Amino acid sequence: MQRGELTKRILEHLMDASSDMVYLFAAVIASPYGASRRQIEKKAQELQEGTTRTDLKRRQQDFYNIVYQLQRQGFIKKTKDRKLLLTILGREKYKKIQSRLPGRRYEPQTDNNVKVVIFDIPERERHKREWLRYQLGDLGFKMIQKSVWIGKKKLPQEFMEDIRSLKLLSYIEIFAITKTGSIRSVK
């Protein structure tokens, strides 16, 4: 997971302030690459229900390191009673991160055909590549390689419109496979 995505998630959580941050951060760190929001939330719940003391200590230290960095950059501040608050700069950073990419969530729908999504997005548009990976994972696609995803899911029209508006169409190939042959079954 890219540092910008992690920063976005921490700032988003501070805006929301609805769940325990240590467990959320631990879930982000413990989740596999390309994990969807649902998978991270499930991991956070699992961690909250039963983590070992060593794992929790290590993840807490990781969390405090990120919080320290966000404080140094002026995005958050600690109050006298040790609560974390977003600064004006932190709110601006959060809005800037949010405005770069579509914030919409797409509803996953199953399909009879296997879809293969292959992309090669240039490094200068890394944030778009990370957005695409996140959205594919959230839709229920599985990562075969970092730029090859597969799933028996429909690609929503809104998702395709967002890809078009981000000018990513020339970097993405989408295949529908009607006969699987030697490809293992995909759920």
Q: Compute the CA torsion angle 131, 137, 141, 142 (nearest 10 deg).
A: 110
Using an 8 Å Cβ cutoff, are 101 and 127 in contact?
A: yes
Using an 8 Å Cβ cutoff, are 13 and 76 in contact?
A: no
Looking at residue 36, its pLDDT comes to 79
**What average pLDDT does this structure show over 140-154?**
91
Using an 8 Å Cβ cutoff, are 102 and 116 in contact?
A: no
CATH of domain 110-177: 3.30.70.240
Domain boundaries, the chain: 3-100, 110-177
Using an 8 Å Cβ cutoff, are 163 and 119 in contact?
A: no
Query: 142 vs 42, 133, 154, CA distance in Å?
Result: 17, 10, 13
Looking at residue 19, its pLDDT comes to 46
Q: Give pLDDT tens digits for 54-102.
A: 666 777 788 888 888 889 999 898 888 888 888 999 888 877 766 667 7
